[in-house]
Amino acid sequence: MTVAKYRGLNYPQINVMEHFNWEHGVIAKTLWYNSLAELLDDARKTYETDRHNPFLMKWMKEVVERITAHLENNSNIVIFWDFDVDGISASSVLFRWLRYLGVPEEQIQVIIPNREIGYSIKKEYILEFINNPLNFTPDLIITVDCWIKSASDVEFITNHLWIEVVITDHHGVDPNAIPTAASAVVNPHLPGSQYPFKEISGSLVALKVIEWLSEHLYRKYNRDPFVNGELNAMAELRELAMLWTIADVMPIIDENRWLVKETLSRLEVSYNLGLRIFTNELLKQYNKSKDKVLTTDFIGWQIGPRINAAWRIWDPSTWLHMFINDNPDVLMSIFNILDSTNKNRQDILAEEKLLAIESERDNPNKWIVYIKNDIMDWIIWLVAGNLKEEYYKPTVVIGWEAIHLDIVYNWQFTNDQEVALYSFLFSLKEYLKYKYETEQFYWYSIKDWNKILFSINERALNTIEDEFKYAFSNVEEILFQGIDAFISDKYFYSGKDIKNKYSKEEFKKEMAKIYPKLSEDYLLDVLSVLKEIDFNNINFVYTNVLKWSCRSIDWFHITEALETIDKEYESQVGEKLLLWYGWHPLAAWFWIKAEKVADFKALFEDIANRNITDEMLEKKLNVNIEIDNLWLIDKRLIDEINSMGPFGNKNEYPKVLVKWRPVEVLILKNPKHAKLFLEDDNWNKLPVLFFRYKDNPDIELFLTEIINWNPQFTNKKIGIVWNLDLNEWEGVFTPQLIPIDIVLNV
């Protein structure tokens, strides 16, 4: 019988029996540490730190001055964000703050990047955005959680589009890649930054900018900068920043711990209406007190996955509206969509997870490369994580296949021509969507000054090349008909009041008044630039591109491995293997051409075999302390431990090992759950609670053998690594164990 999930235990380096007397206050404050040398330093970082001064971040003064100038000039502001929880939280923080300051909503817009084009701010995103007729041309772009890269793109945006860029981020920094054309860059990792704590989320970086800006505005104008004296505005923004501090697995120490402790317990009465509604609707799904539910696990396992499900299956902007909307009816509708979307995600993942785990069961290698061409784009990340957890090996999963089409010109586009081309491509996309009643291509991007890259709908492959050739030969027709199609679509979906008031032609004229990029004058200017371009002598190049997701073990840096693979391939062949790659030591994405898969697998196998040892593949559980006497575990000890929370990364709930005899199993009123009673050498008993024990056949068999008094189990001590919990019944609190792992031979 294989009950243990781990391949061994790392026993505690602290023997509390030898070094401390059994006073609960002393014990609880030592359970967290694996060596005495770390005790005082970690205690200071974890428990004594409040907030740090935002001004300690390099370039904070410049950020404050530039954003203040734009606020005073009533500038149009774009928030450029990533669509995971951190990006959504950080953009919500900025959006709500700007609204609290009184910036009109029509002067704030957001851009969600497309990861097929690439991470970080790109000129393609901005050109596509400003050439959508319904969008304004921004005066200022503030980035959140999008790395500090793309120096050439930022230079183009500032020098050729005349848009100022301010970058806020929390990822590691390459000093050689910092965009010098940006007005300011704020990141605790910047060289020369005096900010004492580096491991904060993008949301908290955005909050730091806001805190100093608010202080600056208060001093400058000698009044509260918030309109209507919003007393709880900053408290609300801290709640939003807290979400990704937990969901992005930031260390819950130092300033992060202060933020989480300050905000987590009040989620059900959150100052943000959307977060309050979401929390209370989820609480209804639990039959527990809020004190047991409103934990970091609640964010990590309930709120976080629902946010990520939105961008994986639905629309990431849905979550943004959950945090910035103030209409309760709208917010309830959004909650229902997000909750059902998450249930759909769980069902799809459960099926794919079983298929993946079964397919790799007999894999003898030190690594996993799992290929399944029909697996959906959004799920490969989750399947990679499941495989890594199940087999504890570096894992690469290939799923979604995209068809890319490069249209290569014998022509170098000028800056003006590139801007005009984005207007034309917008019209072409709308024209083809109207003609075929479905998208013919999903996104487009101009690369290398002479190449237009499209992501093609597979159903359009038989017609798309002819359509492109026709469009390039009839630029004026497509430019104007595409805008007509766009306006017709808006008119079709407009309400009865609009249709009763305007004919279609009148509606078009009214739209042009509001949105100048729909006007005939603007389109004629675009056309005059397009006529300069030679649309002849073009080549069509099709490429099948595969999207991969990687998850790794503690001792194998997956992003560095991808970098090594790419460099080794380039040295051998003379070209890059990976179209794009990057992220973190334990997780990464990359893009690769379909015909290069065999080359990647060979190089990945070589890198893995050279660098991964058998010892690295042993998944061990770190035990903080061992307790021999059951009577030491009582409510006072548990309260002391809980006072060290909130728990999370680098401030985990202590893992405690006990070695006692199993003596009795009680199947609870809800037959999905069971209690195992353990007995120490003094015949003291303590219950171990097994939730949904039948979901694990080995656990079910183990408990059945104890029920049947099998001496192989009942006559021996077993080891259980656990977290402590309190069971309350009619005002009486009884300690119980929540098992993490079971060791039969101790």
Q: Which of 288-302, 376-390, 544-558 has the lowest mean pLDDT?
A: 288-302
Residue 201 has pLDDT above 70, yes or no: yes
pLDDT(454) > 70: yes
**Of 206-210, 269-273, 591-595, which gets the smallest average pLDDT?**
591-595
Please state the rounded mean pLDDT for residues 11-27. Answer: 39
pLDDT at 426 over 50: yes
Whether the per-residue pLDDT at 427 is higher than 50: the answer is: yes
Q: What pLDDT does residue 30 have?
A: 41
Q: Could you report the per-residue pLDDT of 306-318, keeping only the tens digit for each? A: 877 766 665 667 7
Long-range contacts of 316-320 (CB under 8 A, 24+ apart): 316/83, 316/88, 316/112, 317/110, 317/112, 319/88, 320/88, 320/91, 320/92, 320/95, 320/110
Instruction: Name every residue whose Cβ is closer than 8 Å to that of residue 612 and which is 6 or more positions away in sequence.
Output: 366, 367, 394, 555, 556
* CA–centroid distance for 14 within its chain: 36
Asked whether 556 and 610 are in contact (CB, 8 A), the reply is no
Domain boundary assignment for the chain: 9-34+624-743, 54-271, 360-402+540-617, 411-536
Query: Mean pLDDT across the stretch 658-672?
Result: 81
Checking if the pLDDT of 175 tops 90, the result is no
| pLDDT confidence of residue 29 | 36
CA distance from start to end of the chain: 15
pLDDT value of residue 24:
38
Q: What pLDDT was estimated at residue 289?
A: 59
pLDDT of 38 reads: 47
Q: Which pLDDT score, from 0 to 100, does residue 116 have?
A: 59
| Average pLDDT of the residues in 526-539 | 92
More confident residue, 23 or 65: 65
pLDDT digits 0-9 by tens, 320-357: 888 898 999 989 988 888 888 888 888 888 889 999 99
Query: In the 8-state DSSP scheme, what is residue 397?
Result: E
Of 129, 165, 160, residue with least CA distance to 146: 165
Residue 537 has pLDDT above 80, yes or no: yes
Query: Hey, what are 715's tokens?
Result: 């006559």
pLDDT of 566 strictly over 80: yes
What pLDDT does residue 436 have?
93
DSSP, collapsed to helix, strand or coil, labels residue 653 as: coil
Tally Cβ neighbours within 10 Å of residue 410: 10
Contact predicate 427/479, CB 8 Å: yes
Range 9-34+624-743 has CATH code 1.10.260.40: no
What separation in angstroms does the CA of 343 have from each of 45, 315, 602?
39, 15, 38
- pLDDT above 70 covers a percentage of the chain that reads 87
Determine the pLDDT at residue 574.
93
Q: How confident is the model at residue 84 (pLDDT cuts 50, 70, 90)?
A: low
pLDDT on residue 31: 42
pLDDT-based confidence at 244, cuts 50/70/90?
confident
Whether residue 626 is predicted with pLDDT greater than 80 in this model: the reply is no
Q: What's the mean per-residue pLDDT of the chain? A: 83
- Establish how many alpha carbons lie within 13 A of residue 216's alpha carbon, considering only the half-sphere containing its beta carbon: 19
Does the pLDDT at position 20 exceed 50?
A: no
Given 3.40.50.720, 1.20.1440.230, 3.40.190.10, 3.90.1640.30, which CATH number is that of 54-271? 3.90.1640.30
- What number is the average pLDDT over the span 502-528? 91
Does residue 696 register a pLDDT over 80? no
714-735 pLDDT, tens digit each: 667 777 777 777 777 767 777 7
**Inter-residue contact 404 to 452 (CB < 8 Å):** no
Q: What is the pLDDT of residue 44?
A: 44
Q: What is the CATH number of domain 360-402+540-617?
A: 3.10.310.30
What average pLDDT does range 46-68 have in this prediction? 84
The whole-angstrom separation of Cα 284 and Cα 623 is 35
Per-residue pLDDT for 33 more than 60? no
Q: Is the pLDDT of residue 187 over 80?
A: yes
pTM, 2 dp: 0.81
CB within 8 Å of 327: residues ≥ 6 apart: none
Count CA within 13 A, CB hemisphere, residue 478.
22
- pLDDT level of residue 40 (50, 70, 90 thresholds): very low
- What average pLDDT does the segment 456-476 reach? 92
Query: 542 - beta bridge partners?
Result: 405
Where does the pLDDT of residue 654 fall: very low under 50, low under 70, confident under 90, or very high at 90 and above?
Answer: confident
pLDDT at 42 over 60: no
